Chain A
Amino acid sequence: MLDFSILTEHFPDYMAGFLNTIKASVFALIGSFILGTIIAVMRISKYRVLRAVGAVYVEFIRNIPILIVVLFFFLGLPSLGVRLDGFTAGTLGLTVYTAAFIAEAIRAGIQSVPQGQSEAARSSGMSYMQTMQHVILPQAIKLVIPPLSNQFINLIKNSSVLTIVAGLDLMYFADIISSDTYVTFSTYIFAAAFYLVLTLPLSFAALALEKRLARSA
């Protein structure tokens, strides 16, 4: 039933897509971590405007499909004079979308650090930024790691939308292979296996990490 010649003959295609999927996911993870941290800090800032901007970003992005965000970068931006290829537009879309979720995870992490600690740090002469950097964030990160690893798994899965904007990811190459060979079942089973090779170990690692943190807490 399974046609292994699909895998052996098209291994370079699968690999090309696989590597692009990893690249897009890693870039987007780094990008959305940075953007997410900024938005999380905005959401707990003492300035109302910043808080509002952060809240609007998170609520709006979290409630729309990722495909809209990706298509905005791919089809929408060119009419404003900015042109991005499918891979770049897709990766940026993933970044902007995932940042909303990461921002919430980080905010929850920061807010779980007892108020007393930041008051103590401030009264011992640290500035707001210093308090954040040396006292709050290091503790928050520990709480943020499990949800962050889940977001990374989601990123890998979501990166499959790149195929819709010809973003050269794993799903795109699977589409091409099945169009060329007219073999659907085997082509997508192998594609699924490539995804699982990435996501399953991450899933188990995330679970183990969560358990360990729960025990140490």
Chain B
Amino acid sequence: MDFVGAYSPDNLRFLTEGLKITLYVAAVSIVLSFVFGTIVGTIRYMKVPILSPILAVIVETLRNLPLLLIIFFIQFALPEIGFKFTVTAGVITALTLFEAAMISEIVRAGLTSIPKGQTEAARSSGLGVLQTLIHIVLPQGLRRMVPPLVSQFISLLKDTSLAVIVALAELMHNAQIVMAQNHQYPIPILLLIAVVYFVINYTLSLLSRRLEARTV
């Protein structure tokens, strides 16, 4: 094990470049998958005819496939039927689809947990279906969803590392290039990037716990 050589300034700079891509891809995917996941989860909660069962099939399919396969499929199989993506866009699309499917289930469960009595009361006091949803159900539901949502975001951040298979220049990809310099480098480099992922994700989970404590 050669920690000094592995942690040379050049290598660290190179890894930082990778980390930037990781954070960028994760941040964009988190926002997109939250938006789509909330929409899909709400539609399924409201049991919108036609749309709801179609979304159910799509969500179940995506949730039950390996993300690695989805990433590769979007990048290299979808273009065969006319959808093209750059590597970054392809990875963001794959992450968004997969995580939105997961998030929609969290949202649906969160909304379902709001007691029926509340929606009925709101409706009988003259609020419309959408108004009830927006003013009564969603705000309460979202609050309950904070912990599972954050842990899903953490999963997403970890999952960006799977983009190595389409050669996206993120943290894991750059780590593999550095590791190839010397056979004494894998343990120091793996340890370093593990700590980087850990610090980011653990901070996120601490934030979520504080948020949870405040809202309850």
Contact = CB atoms under 8 A, between A and B. Distances in A.
Q: Touch between A and B in complex, CB under 8 Å?
A: yes
A158 B66 contact: yes
Nearest to A68: B194
A133 interface: no
A199 B64 contact: yes
B69 A192 contact: yes
Nearest to A163: B68
A196 B65 CA distance: 7
B38 to A, nearest CB: 22
B206 to A, nearest CB: 10
A195 B69 contact: yes
Interface stretch (A38-46, A57-65, A117-125): A57-65
A72 interface: yes
Given A161-B68, A163-B68, A65 B158 contact: yes
Interface stretch (A7-15, A106-114, A141-149, A183-191): A183-191
Interface in B33-87: 60-61, 63-69, 72-73, 76-78, 80-81
Contact of B69 (A60, A75, A171): A171
A79 interface: yes
Contacts of A158: 66
Contacts, number: 108
Given A76-B187, A203-B63, A185 B80 contact: yes
Contacts of B198: 59-60, 63-64
The residue in A76, A156, A159, A195 that gathers the most chain B C-beta atoms within 10 A of its C-beta is A76
Contact of A188 (B61, B77, B165): B77
A1 interface: yes
Contacts of B64: 153, 157, 195-196, 199-200, 203
Interface stretch (B121-129, B133-141, B178-186): B178-186
A71 interface: yes
A132 interface: no
Interface of B: 1, 60-61, 63-69, 72-73, 76-78, 80-81, 154, 158-162, 164-165, 172, 179, 183-184, 186-187, 190, 193-194, 197-198, 201-202, 205
6 tightest A-B CB contacts, nearest first = A160-B66, A63-B201, A199-B64, A65-B161, A75-B186, A65-B158
28 contacts: A59-B198, A62-B154, A62-B201, A63-B154, A63-B158, A64-B201, A65-B158, A68-B172, A68-B197, A71-B186, A72-B186, A76-B187, A76-B190, A80-B187, A153-B64, A160-B69, A161-B68, A161-B162, A164-B164, A171-B68, A184-B76, A185-B77, A188-B77, A191-B69, A192-B73, A200-B60, A200-B64, A203-B60
Interface of A: 1, 59-60, 62-68, 71-72, 75-76, 79-80, 153, 156-161, 163-164, 171, 174, 184-185, 188-189, 191-192, 195-196, 199-200, 203
